[in-house]
Amino acid sequence: MEVLVLITTESNKKNALRAAKLLIQNKLAACVSIKQIFSIYEWDDDIAETKEFEITIKSKPEFKDSLVDFLHKISTYDVPQIIYKKFNSDIKYHDWLNKTI
């Protein structure tokens, strides 16, 4: 039983919560987890050090393209991090996810 997991980030908690609620309300995700992280990356030829909020989205594999499009529309970043992978899941979780969205 496969589920899709997408990971994106937002610059602050308010934006992360907004994204999570929109994903649930639009039935694109069954569950969204948010945690604060510290990121180091290169941007505009500088090393940036930033507190961010990582958003982990659990959804159906067939929703991937819709989710990617949606995340591009709602992200506050010029180049949003959008990474994803299909995972095997426990049958009970898979069934719950599929009933939810």
Spell out the domains of the chain, with CATH numbers in brackets: 2-100 (3.30.70.120)
Stated pTM of the model: 0.94
Amino acid symbol at 12? N
| Euclidean distance between CA atoms 28 and 51, whole angstroms | 26
- In the three-class reduction of DSSP (H, G, I as helix; E, B as strand; rest coil), residue 94 is classed as helix
pLDDT in tens, the chain (101 residues): 999 999 999 999 999 999 999 999 999 999 999 999 999 999 999 999 999 999 999 999 999 999 999 999 999 999 999 999 999 999 999 999 999 99
